[in-house]
Amino acid sequence: MATQTKAWDARYVNPSCPHDTNYYIKCIGGGVLACGTTHTAVCPLDVVKCNMQVSPERFKSLGQGMKLILAEEGAGATGLLKGWLPTFFGYSTQGAFKFGLYEVFKDFYANLAGEKNAEKYQGLIWLAGSASAEFFADMGLCPFEMVKVKVQTSPKGTFPTGMFAAMSAMRADPSSGFPFKSLTPLWCRQIPYTMAKFYFFEKVVRAFYQYVFTKPKEQYSKATQLSITFASGYLAGVICAIVSHPADTLVSARGKASNAGKGYGQIAKEMGYTTICTKGLGTRILMIGTLTGLQWWIYDSYKTALGMGTSGGSGKK
């Protein structure tokens, strides 16, 4: 009797760590930790940045803006930490979908392509998987992001600073568009950003294991592997910041009162290509590079603690 050959399945390429439901659930947990903690940690910077975008006549720089908020509103939950709770919930939700669904979609598209095409078109599978994951991640993020921005940019005493009170106020105001008015702009900004973030991380971490750390992966300590993860995430973040910066500049510029009602094309023409590509790029590279490196380091540390191993590299030679 002929032996049946088992069909190839991307979920079981690594038999020591099969991508079953339990694996995906663990990845969701890692995404919550990676994104929720890092974005909440930089909440004070986010408060100043949002106010610089909305009220540039008052908030002229990061240092000056931080001093102004400290002087007028303090350092607590009604000042520099305004919006920390919707930031935590929003980006925890986004991280759950971003990292968890990325693993799901990556395996799904690999299986659709088949074994040979999955290897041949690996980069396209990473791009498709990250785009699909971010599509749903932004649905989870959008309501919290709308609340966060409203809380962070409203003048003192004009709007509730507590998350639930702010949600109630926005829900009662039809003109706010709560909870999904900002979804399309989020998709336009975040999907290309996330595609770059995951694609370049996958490329960089594999390049490290192929050209720099050339022994089999399992021969390196977990500390070394996590250092490689952080470096790969940081470099991917730098590339991602450069790639996504023009779109981020336009989204920020749209918040200026003088640009109300203008299309992105008109704003871009008035600002000029050089300004769009370079304004604030150094700060963005520092922030996004660090955030991305820390997110991947937290994600892989979590996976390692659960026996799932670090990302990238086959461990084979």
- Burial 124-145, CB ≥16 within 10 A → b, else e: ebbbbbbbbbbbbbbbbbbbbb
Does residue 73 form part of some domain? yes
Q: Of 305, 147, 123, 317, which Cα lies nearest the Cα of 203?
A: 123
Q: What pLDDT does 198 receive?
A: 94
- For residue range 56-70, list pLDDT tens digits in order: 778 888 889 899 999
Distance from C-alpha of 193 to C-alpha of 148, rounded to nearest angstrom: 20
Is 4 within a domain?
A: no
Determine the Cα–Cα distance for residues 120 and 218; give it in Å rounded to an integer: 25
Domain residues for 298?
16-306
In angstroms, rounded to a whole number, what is the distance separating the alpha carbons of residues 147 and 287? Answer: 22
Residue 69 lies in a domain: yes
CA–CA distance, 69 with 247 (Å, rounded to integer): 27
The answer to the question of residue 202 being in a domain is yes
What is the model's pLDDT at position 286? 78
Q: At what angle do helices 43-54 and 21-41 cross, to 10 degrees?
A: 60
Q: Enumerate helices (H) and strands (E) in the chain, giving the number of each.
A: 12, 0
| Per-residue pLDDT tens over the stretch 122-174 | 999 999 999 999 999 999 999 998 899 889 888 888 899 999 999 999 999 88
Residues 71-95: pLDDT tens digits? 999 999 889 999 999 999 999 999 9
Torsion sign over Cα 132, 14, 206, 303: positive
pTM > 0.75: yes or no: yes
Tell me the backbone φ, ψ of residue 74, rounded to 5 degrees.
90, -175
Q: What is the pLDDT of residues 261-270, one digit of tens each?
A: 677 788 788 8
Helices (H), 172-280: 183-207, 222-254, 264-271, 273-278
How many distinct structural domains can be found in the chain? 1
Q: Mind listing the pLDDT tens digit for each residue in 10-33?
A: 999 988 889 999 999 999 999 999
- Asked if the structure places residue 9 within a domain, the reply is no
Angle at 96 between CA 301 and CA 8, to 5 degrees: 80
Say if residues 233 and 293 touch (Cβ distance below 8 Å). Answer: yes
Among 262, 57, 52, smallest CA distance to 153 is for 52
Residues 6+ apart with CB under 8 A from 229: 205, 296, 297, 300, 310, 311, 312
Residue 301 maps to which CATH number?
A: 1.50.40.10
**Does a structural domain hold residue 316?**
no
Please give the share of the chain, as a percent, with pLDDT higher than 70.
91
Asked whether residue 283 is assigned to any structural domain, the reply reads yes
**Residue in this structure with the two tokens 């809380």, named with its chain if needed:** 151
Is the pLDDT higher at 180 or at 275?
A: 180
Residue 95 lies in a domain: yes
Its sign, for the CA torsion 250, 252, 256, 260, is: positive
At 315 the pLDDT is: 44
- Pick the more confident residue, 285 or 138: 138
pLDDT (mean) for 216-244 = 91
